[in-house]
Structure 1
Amino acid sequence: MAQGAKTSSRASLRSAARLAAVQALYQMDMTGIDLTDVLAEFEAHRLGQELEGDQYHSAEAKFFRDLVEGVVREQRNLDPLIDQQLAEGWRLGRVDSILRAILRSAAFELTDRDDVPARVVISEYVDIAHAFFNEDEPKVVNGVLDQLAHKTRPKELTRQ
């Protein structure tokens, strides 16, 4: 039982890290804040902290940092991969900024974090999309990530 509690706790810390990474990437996109400053702000004032009356969940800081740094480092490779999965005529630059942050973070996990199962990545980021959107965006996230996962991890997704 203690092992299950530990696993679930780690899962929730990682879920919170993913959400924080999406928020940090969105903030960088919207304000132009640089990587060092956004990491410092989130680690000092948001992860597990209260800010302006909002309580932020504790998050696995190392995982958060890996996601944000990885997306920034690999963005030139990630964006074309995402573009290929979008509907014809759509490009990542045309989608909502928060949706763009979700897709980039998820794409980074799918391409660079093979320690996380693809199905977990897809599920987690669809949940994040539901936190921000009430319309078709979570379906878009699911479709794009499913296609990307089949291209980047075909063996993992064909196993029964």
Structure 2
Amino acid sequence: MTAPVRQARSVARLAAVQALYQMEVSSAGAETVIREFSEHRFDRDVEDMTLAAADEAFFADLVRGVVGHQGEVDAAVAKRLAQGWKLERIDATVRAILRAGAYELAHRDDVPTEVVIDEYVELAKSFFEGPEPGFVNGALDAVAQDVRS
């Protein structure tokens, strides 16, 4: 995979996490949020800088996939949480990261396990300075053991 394609997927993953978070806090539907990102956020200049292009089809697949498989995705993540912890107790951004990562591990066989985990750990690092990136790493590694042979 070429560097521009990798970067476009990285941007798509960030946008998907933002979209999932937005959907949770606003109760907006997947298609509404996908359309908003497509029309108003992708390929826009921000403060005189053009943002890196996003793989919009990959973004839409992640958002639709998490929503369409939410029960399965949440169960895969919840199974690997410490005893007594519930998915609802986790920070909403971390929850969005875990959901997107778990969906990608379960349903995007075209993406290597290490790439999925590394990408979402890096996303966690961009949002958090504390233990969250390590938590994301451990949780997604455990989910990968369950959903990938």
TM-score in same-fold range (> 0.5): yes
Question: What residue in structure 1 maps to residue 19 of structure 2?
Answer: 24
Q: 2:82 aligns with which of 74, 87, 98?
A: 87
> Contact 1:49–1:57 at 8 Å: present in 2 too?
no
| Whole-Å separation in 2 of the counterparts to 1:44 and 1:66 | 17
Question: What residue in structure 1 maps to residue 112 of structure 2?
Answer: 117
Q: Deviations over 1:29-86 (max 9, x none)?
A: 0111111210111011112213587854310000000000000000011101100111
Taking only the aligned residue pairs, the percentage that are identical comes to 47
Q: Are 2:34 and 1:43 aligned?
A: no
> Contact 1:111–1:152 at 8 Å: present in 2 too?
yes
> Contact 1:45–1:51 at 8 Å: present in 2 too?
no
User: How big is the alpha-carbon RMSD for the aligned residues of Structure 1 and Structure 2?
Assistant: 1.5
Moved over 2 A (4+): 50-57
Higher-Rg structure is 1
| Whole-Å separation in 1 of the counterparts to 2:50 and 2:88 | 32
- Which structure exhibits the higher relative contact order, with contacts defined as CA atoms closer than 8 Å and separated by 6 or more residues? 2
Length, aligned pairs only: 149
Structure 2: unaligned runs, 5 residues or longer: none
Three-state SS of the structure 1 residue aligned to 2:58 is helix
> Contact 1:28–1:38 at 8 Å: present in 2 too?
yes
Give 1:135 deviation, angstroms.
0.1
Normalising by structure 1, we get a TM-score of 0.88
| Whole-Å separation in 1 of the counterparts to 2:86 and 2:145 | 20
Question: What residue in structure 2 maps to residue 145 of structure 1?
Answer: 140
Three-state SS of the structure 1 residue aligned to 2:82 is coil
Letter aligned with residue 58 of structure 2: F
| Whole-Å separation in 1 of the counterparts to 2:26 and 2:18 | 12
Letter aligned with residue 18 of structure 1: R
* Stretch moving more, 143-152 or 102-111: 143-152
| Whole-Å separation in 2 of the counterparts to 1:93 and 1:86 | 11
Q: 2:72 aligns with which of 71, 77, 91?
A: 77
Three-state SS of the structure 2 residue aligned to 1:48 is coil
Q: Are 2:117 and 1:130 aligned?
A: no
